[in-house]
Amino acid sequence: MPPRICALCKEARAVMKRPKTGQIVCRACFFWVLEEEVHQTIVSHGLFHPGERVAIAASGGKDSTVLAHMMKTLNERHNYGLELSLLSVDEGISGYRDDSLETVKRNQQQYDLPLKIVSYSELYGWSMDEIVKEVGRKNNCTCTFCGVFRRQALDRGAVMLDVQHIVTGHNADDVAETVLMNVLRGDVARLGRSTDISTANEGDSMVKRSKPFKYTYEKEIVMYAYFKKLDYFSTECTYSPAAYRGHARTFLKDLESIRPSAIIDIIHSGEALTIREDVKMPTLQVCDRCGYMSSGPLCKACVLLEGLNRGLPK
Partner 1 sequence: MSNTEGNLGAGEDRLRRRREPGICVKCRTEKACAYVREAGYCQPCFIHQMTGKVRTHLTRTPLPGDIREVRGKCRVLLAFSGGPSSRVLLDMVAHYTGEHVNQQARRFGEISVVHVDESILEEDENASCSTLRHDIQNVVDSYGMRLSVVALPSAFSTTDDPDGRRGFEKCRQSYSSNGSKSSEEDLVRQIKMHLLRQVALEQGATILLTGDSATRTAIHTLLEITQGRGYTLPFLVGPTSTTGYPDVVVWRPLRDCLAKEMDQYIAFQELQVPKNTEKKEDKSEPTTLYGMTQSFIVGLDEGFPATASTVARTAAKLRVAPEALESSDERISRCVICDLPVQGGSQGWRDRCAILGRSTKADDREKGCGDSSKDAGCCGGSGDSGCNGDRPSNQGTSSSLPMALCYGCRVAASADKGKKEDVERDTPLLWPRYAQHALDQQTKDAKVEGLREQIQDFLLEDEEDQ
| Selected range binding partner 1 among 101-109, 142-150, 160-168, 182-190, rule: CB under 8 A | 182-190
Residue 306 found at the interface with partner 1 (CB under 8 A): no
Is position 166 an interface residue for partner 1 (rule: CB under 8 A)?
Answer: no
57 is annotated as contributing to ligand binding: yes
Task: Label residues 261-276 b or e (16+ Cβ within 10 Å = b).
Answer: ebbbebbeebeeeeee
Size of the site for partner 1 (CB under 8 A): 59
**Angle, helices 128-135/141-161, rounded to nearest 10 degrees:** 150
Looking at beta carbons only, is 279 or 311 nearer to partner 1?
A: 279
Under the binding rule (CB under 8 A), the answer on residue 16 touching partner 1 is no
Does the annotation place 163 within a ligand binding site?
no
Nearest 5°: phi and psi at 56? -95, 120
> What's the sign of the alpha-carbon dihedral 281, 189, 139, 302?
negative
Looking at 98-106, 133-141, 264-272, 303-311, which segment touches partner 1 (CB under 8 A)? 264-272
Q: Contacts with partner 1 in 25-44 (CB under 8 A)?
A: 29, 32-33, 36-37, 39-41, 43-44
- Among residues 87, 230, 260, 304, the one that binds partner 1 under rule CB under 8 A: 260
C-alpha pair distances (Å), 131 with each of 148, 238, 252, 254, 308: 13, 14, 31, 35, 8
Among residues 159, 184, 284, 312, the one that binds partner 1 under rule CB under 8 A: 184
CB of 29 to partner 1, least distance (A): 6
| The only residue of 262, 286, 290, 303 in contact with partner 1, by rule CB under 8 A | 262
Nearer to partner 1 by Cβ, of 45 and 106: the residue is 45
**Contact present, 241 and 135 (Cβ < 8 Å):** no
Does 189 participate in binding partner 1 (rule CB under 8 A)?
Answer: no
Nearest to 113 by CA among 174, 156, 64, 153: 64
Contacts of 291 (CB under 8 A, 6+ apart): 203, 204, 205
Contact flag: residue 9 with partner 1 (CB under 8 A): yes
Report if residue 188 touches partner 1, rule: CB under 8 A: yes
Per-residue DSSP letters for 18-66? -TTT--EE-HHHHHHHHHHHHHHHHHHTT---TT-EEEEE--SSHHHHH
What would the x/- binding string for partner 1 be over residues 80 to 119, using CB under 8 A? ----------------------------------------
Q: Which of the ranges 97-105, 163-171, 227-235, 258-266 carries the binding residues for partner 1, by CB under 8 A?
A: 258-266
Q: Is 85 one of the annotated binding-site residues? A: no
How would you classify the pairing of strands 16-17 and 24-25?
antiparallel
DSSP string covering 68-117: HHHHHHHHHHTT---EEEEEEEE---TTTHHHHHHHHHHHHHHHT--EEE
Annotated binding site for ATP: 57-59, 63, 89, 169, 174
Contact footprint for partner 1 (CB under 8 A): 7-11, 18-24, 29, 32-33, 36-37, 39-41, 43-44, 77-79, 179-180, 183-186, 188, 191, 215, 244, 247, 251, 254-255, 258-262, 264-277, 279
